């Protein structure tokens, strides 16, 4: 199976994709935007590689996105996951007990880490996006005194580790990398360098950095996405 890692990274690093993310953040600041990030990726990918023998499609056989080689019809499966920083921090102890985590996946449990592992098993390439709002001030969160969905958990991290510190960052970054390294070792694959995109500046009233974690598994044959993933 041909790897499209370079093409994927080129799109994620592009100015056009960042522009799309800024627009998403402007209009949907209060929600997780996994499908919006995916759809923006698909549109930029297809614009970028138009006429070059590959095309991306969304929601093929329950896979978030596939890249199709138009000559051979081979399908490269990509799964997107989208979490808040506190989601990953809260999984720390469960990720350390990795074998127990794998057993829970077999039993069909649907926690954050379990669902990430399920998607790892059934794809050629995983893109995990972690939304980092470190330092977000509640009084500046949204107009009309609306309370964002993420703010309570983000403030817990800021209280425990202080905003914009290495300790705050590592509290969720380390378990995230630990989970993906263990997944790469168990399922076969390579953890690529993390790509942080500053969607809105940290000093703004509505800061957001989207961290893209990428796990490539092009050298393995993922399980059929129409079946239940097992470990």
Domain that includes residue 181, residue range: 5-216
Residue 231 lies in a domain: no
Six-digit token string for 185: 């070792």
Domain count, the chain: 1
Phi, psi of 221 (to 5 degrees): -100, 105
Residue 227 lies in a domain: no
Q: Is 202 exposed, middle or buried (0-12, 13-18, 19+ CB in 10 A)?
A: middle
- Going from the C-alpha of 177 to that of each of 58, 108, 188, the distances in angstroms are 27, 23, 15
pTM exceeding 0.85: yes
pLDDT above 50: residue 228:
no
The residue whose two tokens read 């390294």 is: 181
Question: Residue 226 domain-assigned?
Answer: no
Cβ-contact 42, 55 below 8 angstroms: no
**Residue 163 located in a structural domain:** yes
- Under 8 Å CB-to-CB from 41, ≥6 apart: which residues? 11, 12, 17, 56, 65, 80, 127
- Residue 52 to residue 71: CA distance in whole angstroms: 10
**3-state SS class at 123:** coil
pLDDT tens, position by position, 56-88: 999 998 899 999 998 998 999 999 999 999 999
Residue-wise pLDDT for 162-206, tens only, equals 877 889 899 999 999 999 999 999 888 999 999 999 998 877 777
Q: Are 61 and 78 in contact (CB under 8 A)?
A: no
- Please report whether residue 105 resides in a domain: yes
Please tell me the distance from the alpha carbon of residue 200 to that of residue 22, in angstroms, as a whole number: 7
* Nearest Cα to Cα of residue 76 among 12, 180, 5: 5
Task: Note whether residue 128 is domain-resident.
Answer: yes
pLDDT at 129: 97
pLDDT at residue 139 is higher than 60: no
Cβ neighbour number for residue 165 with a 10 Å cutoff: 13
């Amino acid at each position: 199976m041909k790897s499209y890692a370079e093409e994927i990274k080129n799109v994620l690093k592009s100015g056009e994709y960042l522009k799309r993310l800024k627009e998403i953040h402007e209009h949907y600041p209060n929600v997780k935007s996994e499908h919006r990030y995916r759809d923006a990726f698909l549109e930029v990918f297809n614009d970028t590689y138009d006429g070059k023998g590959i095309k991306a499609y969304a929601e093929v056989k329950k896979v978030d996105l596939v890249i199709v080689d138009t000559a051979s019809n081979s399908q490269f499966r990509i799964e997107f996951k989208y979490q808040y920083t506190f989601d990953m921090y809260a999984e720390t102890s469960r990720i350390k007990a990795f074998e127990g985590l794998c057993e829970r996946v077999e039993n069909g449990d649907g926690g954050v880490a379990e669902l990430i592992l399920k998607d790892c098993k059934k794809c050629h390439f995983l893109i995990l996006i972690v939304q980092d709002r470190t330092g977000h001030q509640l009084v500046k969160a949204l107009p009309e005194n609306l309370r964002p969905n993420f703010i309570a958990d983000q403030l817990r991290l800021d209280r425990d580790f202080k905003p914009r510190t290495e300790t705050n960052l590592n509290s969720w970054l380390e378990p995230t990398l630990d989970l993906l390294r263990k997944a790469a070792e168990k399922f076969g694959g390579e953890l690529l360098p993390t790509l942080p995109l500053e969607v809105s500046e940290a000093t703004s009233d509505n800061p957001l950095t989207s961290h893209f974690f990428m796990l490539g598994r092009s050298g393995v044959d993922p399980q059929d996405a129409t079946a239940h993933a097992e470990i």
